[in-house]
A and B are shown apart, each in its own frame.
Chain A
Amino acid sequence: MKEDQVKPQGIDRRTFLKTSAVVGAVTAITGFPTIVRSQPKEIVIGSIQPVTGPIPDIGIGMQRTNRMAVDDINARGGIKSLGGAKIKLLLGDHGAKEEVARAEAERFIKDGAVCLVGPFLSGPAMAIATLAEQRNIPFVIDVAAMDAITAKGYKNVFRCFPKTELFMVSIGKFLDQIIQEKKVTIKKIVVSNVGDAFGRSQGAAFIKLVKDKKYPFEIVDHIEYPLGVKDLSAEVAKIKAAKPDVLFPVTRTGDSKLLLRELYKQRVELMGIISPGSPGWYEPEHIRDLDKLAYYVLNNVPWVNPKSPVFQDVNKRFEKMYPGQYLDTNTGWGYVGVQVIADALERAKSTDPAALREALRKTNFKDHPMVGGPVVFDEKGDNINATTALIQVLPDKNLDDRVKVVLPKEFAVAPYVFPWKQLWDRG
């Protein structure tokens, strides 16, 4: 009925009269205000992810949950405060190239996008953020960890994912807890990181944490290797020579597998592996391909909250749609990014970018599947309640259930194991 009112030219006089009569009657009876100005039938938002390029697995995953969230919201009736308008998601691929990220963003804005979501990598995030600032279109970052992005004071940028600082605060607390509860003495540690923007900054931040908190253990070696390297035998030989108690690696997906296999082959004795927060230790392929070798690795990541009913619902459907996959620290936030935008649209009651931006600023969103409190943005655009959990890969018959949250207790579903069983003693 509302569509008819928007396009009076499209119908004949009789229908028009009939309709207005009915509307008039309804208005008179219910007092329900008829909305005369045009309602958007669909709201366009743009998703820009690294679908091709060096990390296509993650890019594809992010795109999937961006899309899934849009479909879910539309299935539930769209944006109700805007008359049930559906969200139309434009899919973009930046392939890890900043100028492509910018061009895609520009294209979506031309096509009417009122908000952008993405892009996983920090370089493209910066390119899109600057464009968003230039065009005054809000940009919700689902995943990107580099602190520098929100440090620029852009008012259009909102980041859901926790920044590096938050990772370190958490791992510090977890380490304290582990050392105290398990009564272990850790004397020597080795930190390793992959040589890309993320690896280096995460590695450096962790080393700084260790030095600042004056832990009783010393960093006996800090090993870096280039991204995409396919042979870590030299690096592991160095780790072995350093004889650490615990290894703290920051990796990407390929090197985590290499690392474990090399550690096995070279018989490197450890109390365990604790990652300050990195990909590579929780992906379905990793769990499947490495089987028992993947067990007992602890990882500090902003994981999905296993106790959240939102997670349980979304994950069940995600696993069905994409067999062999499950919602994780990246794809989970992909879902959240879109949820936050939709929530802001509801509160803004408008698709005007300025109104949307204001609404985003006031976000206080609880119904998300991740650990941590409700999504609340500070003046810089960071989600102050984003936090990480300590996950561990534990034995389970079902491959998809092996990654479990072990700390903090409020989100934990299993007790953690530390020290671990050596790689070659696992049968």
Chain B
Amino acid sequence: MKRLYLILGLILAVLLALPGVLNNYWMEIFILIFFYAYLGQCWNILTGYTGNISLGHALYVGIGAYTATRLAMVFGLSPWLGMLVGGLFATGVGLVIGFLGFRFGLRGVYFVLITISFAEIGRLIALHLESLGSFMGLFIDFNPGFLNMQFRGNLPYYYISLGLLVFSLIVVRTLELSKTGRYLVAIREDEEAAESLGVNTLKYKMVAIGLSAFMTALGGTFDANRIFHLSPDRVMSMGLSIEIILRPIIGGMGTVLGPVVGSFLITLPAEWTRAFFSEMGRPGLHMVIYGFVLILAVFFFPRGIMPLLTRKLRPFFIKE
């Protein structure tokens, strides 16, 4: 295992040094890779490790974004603190959804649908609240400064998003190794068996969804202060929920590096195809290609990429 950590450490060092040679545009792309890898990892905590698929994670992104932004606008609270408040709020919502879902025994597609329902209701409510800017959304002032989590260049955003990603990797790895993590995996593999062995499945699933929601919301605050516009159709939409789940699924759910690998493998081609085909002036073509890429990724890696990579690289890293 030590070899693996060494390699990962090297990769991290490269990523830390990379901005030295990247221009703003490429930093932007990496920010997107890190950011979506982060969100995917947060989602992974719930779905990868308990098996309950959530297709409404955008709700937590939105809660994080709106809460921190409103606190900043009304009380001048720094987003660094606001983001924690947003996280707590999202945890509360997540626990409610989790409670309803788990307590009422919703599995599989039924759980998916309840997460979708809550996310959509959340979005519709946000569309109506004047305090959240309703349909227009919130236009955020640009006041660069560390306390405001706003910066002129892409560099600070790069490091923050990378930092968030590394943070999530540590969280997930720690979770994996902990007792809680092992229980979660047991729940994922066979919930009834775990129950019969005396594991309080409800408690652990709630921990998973609470943690997942909290961390997802932090990402929402980061995003708000980078794009400067919040609207329910952007930060709370089904579209975002789908984007969140793509990377961990293709990368490999329930693995630590899955979302990261998935993010690199999806974001880069997606950007290239869009840049390339946009110029041709054939609207929609790059999206059709994107759809095919997703499908082919599943055909080639039906369990995600990580399981395949792990099998191939295992002898290299683990001395038998």
Contacts and interface: CB of A to CB of B under 8 A. Distances in A.
Contacts of A134: 142, 144, 152-153
B32 A196 contact: no
B227 A148 contact: no
A37 B231 CA distance: 48
Contacts of B139: 126, 146, 148-149, 151-152
A154 interface: yes
A104 B229 CA distance: 16
Contacts of B284: 52, 56
Contacts of A319: none
Interface residues of B, number: 37
B320 interface: no
A161 B124 CA distance: 30
A292 interface: no
B200 interface: no
A162 to B, nearest CB: 17
Contacts of A59: 283
Interface stretch (A90-98, A175-183, A209-217): A90-98
A291 interface: no
A257 B139 CA distance: 32
Nearest to A133: B142
B283 A197 contact: no
B178 interface: no
Contacts of A127: 227-229
A145 to B, nearest CB: 11
B29 A199 contact: no
A62 B233 CA distance: 23
Interface stretch (A4-12, A105-113, A400-408): A105-113
A51 B278 contact: yes
A97 B153 contact: no
Contacts of A149: 139
Interface in A258-290: none
A45 to B, nearest CB: 14
Contact of B135 (A60, A106, A201): A201
Interface centre among B226, B231, B283, B286 (most CB of A within 10 A): B283
B166 interface: no
B15 interface: no
Nearest to A101: B227
A123 B137 contact: yes
A76 interface: no
A386 B144 CA distance: 32
B227 A99 contact: yes
A391 B139 CA distance: 32
B5 interface: no
Contact of B136 (A98, A102, A200): A200
A110 B142 contact: no
B141 interface: yes
Given A52-B284, A127-B227, A199-B135, A152 B25 contact: no
A420 B52 CA distance: 59
A65 interface: no
Contacts of A109: 24-25
A192 interface: no
A110 B231 contact: no
Nearest to A64: B281
Contacts of B223: 99
Interface string B1-44: 00000000000000000000001111011001000000000000
A91 B137 contact: no
Given A109-B24, A201-B135, A92 B231 contact: no
A-B pairs with the 7 shortest C-beta distances?
A110-B25, A200-B135, A126-B229, A148-B139, A130-B228, A197-B136, A106-B25
20 contacts: A56-B283, A59-B283, A91-B278, A93-B274, A93-B286, A99-B227, A106-B154, A107-B25, A107-B28, A107-B275, A109-B25, A110-B23, A110-B25, A133-B142, A146-B139, A151-B139, A154-B142, A196-B135, A197-B135, A201-B136
Given A130-B227, A199-B135, A201-B136, 10 more contacts: A93-B283, A97-B234, A106-B25, A107-B25, A126-B229, A127-B229, A146-B136, A196-B233, A197-B135, A197-B137
Interface of B: 23-26, 28-29, 32, 127, 134-137, 139, 141-142, 144, 152-154, 223, 226-229, 231, 233-234, 271, 274-275, 278-279, 281, 283-284, 286-287
